[in-house]
Amino acid sequence: MAAGELSGRDPATEYRRDRRRLVERLRDRGVSDLAVLHAFDIVPRHAFVPEVMRTRAYEDVPLPVGHGQTISSPTIHALSLEQARIGPGDRVLEVGTGTGFQTALLAALGAAVYSIERIAALYEAAVQTLRRLGVEARLMHGDGSRGWPRHAPFRAIIVGAAAARPPEPLFDQLAEGGRLIVPVGTRRQELRRYTRRGDDFARETITGARFVPLVEGEARGRGPE
């Protein structure tokens, strides 16, 4: 008999309830895109955090996932997705797969997802988790600051780590009218949206932010080309 049966608890039911509560909190914080809210309602965040953190999986806070990395707060993920304006079939590049939670949200929005993770252990774990959940996405282990030129241009690019300046290759790989969502800054950070208009990029500030730093440079690639 499972521990949940012994205690009279049904973890699956509790997780569903917690997801619904999280969706309501996101609404309260200004997220109005119904597709984004639905994605949060169906993607199990608890499957993407370490087991010791699962009781906090649906709190609206960032959580440590090991290797000096964190999974962003649901509000930050929701704002990023809402501001990226992703539609079914849009080709999207994710820089920083992490544990794969945002990857799964993007797939739930119907995007064709291309995701790059620099840390090998996180890449391997994300591959396994996404495969187990039946999430379709193309993942690669490598330096996300270089983008994924072979599959450019992208309708949206979402970056999960902060740099003093957004990497130039990401601007080059953005489609006309496409949107780059990226945290910028070192001590003080802000989450920005850049929208491509020909050779120009309109800049908007979404919110203040606190991300781990983006590491740029060589990383041994692994995964689909």
Q: How far apart are CA 184 and CA 57, in angstroms?
A: 26
Please identify which of the residues 72, 80, 115, 145 carries the catalytic annotation.
Answer: 72
**72 an active-site residue?**
yes
Question: What is the secondary structure of 112-174 as a DSSP string?
Answer: EEEEEESSHHHHHHHHHHHHHHT---EEEES-GGG--GGG--EEEEEE-SBBSS--HHHHHTE
How many angstroms separate the CA atoms of 63 and 46, rounded?
Answer: 11
Mean pLDDT of 10-29: 95
Q: Residue 225's pLDDT band (boundaries 50, 70, 90)? A: very low
Residues β-bridged to residue 114: 93, 138
Give the start-end residues of each E strand in the chain: 63-66, 69-71, 91-95, 112-117, 138-141, 154-159, 174-185, 189-197, 200-209
pLDDT > 70 in the chain, percent: 92
Does 1 have pLDDT greater than 60?
A: no
Structure tokens at 105: 């949200």
pLDDT in tens, 72-131: 999 999 999 999 999 999 999 999 999 999 999 999 999 999 999 999 999 999 999 999
Q: Please state, in angstroms and rounded to a whole number, the distance separating the CA atoms of residues 36 and 126.
A: 21
Mean pLDDT, range 25-37, rounded to an integer:
97
Q: State residue 197's pLDDT score.
A: 97
Please give the single-letter amino acid code of residue 29.
R
**Domains of the chain with CATH codes:** 62-209 (3.40.50.150)
What pTM did the predictor assign?
0.91
